[in-house]
Amino acid sequence: MNPIALPLPQLHRAAVLVLLGAMALGGTAGCSPAAESAPRTAQARESPPAGTPASTSTATDVGWVQLMTPMNQQAVKLLTLAAERAAEPRVRDFAARLRTGQEAELVRLKALLTRMGLPGTDVHAGHDMPGMVTVRDLDAARAAEGSAFDRLVLVQIRDHLRQSAQVSRSEITSGGRADARELAAALVTARETSLAELERLPDAVRALG
31: left (phi over 0), alpha (psi -120 to 50) or beta: beta
**SS3 category, 93:** helix
Name the DSSP letter for residue 54.
Answer: G
Q: How far apart are CA 17 and CA 37, in angstroms?
A: 14
Question: Is the pLDDT score of 42 beyond 90?
Answer: no
Using alpha carbons, select from 113, 109, 49, 119 the residue that is nearest to residue 76.
109
Better-scored residue on pLDDT, 206 or 110: 110
Per-residue pLDDT tens digits for 104-158: 999 999 999 999 999 877 676 666 788 999 999 999 999 999 999 999 999 999 9
Question: C-alpha angle 29/44/162, rounded to 5°?
Answer: 30
Rounded to an integer, the average pLDDT of 7-17 is 42
pLDDT at residue number 155 = 95
Question: Is the pLDDT score of 180 beyond 80?
Answer: yes
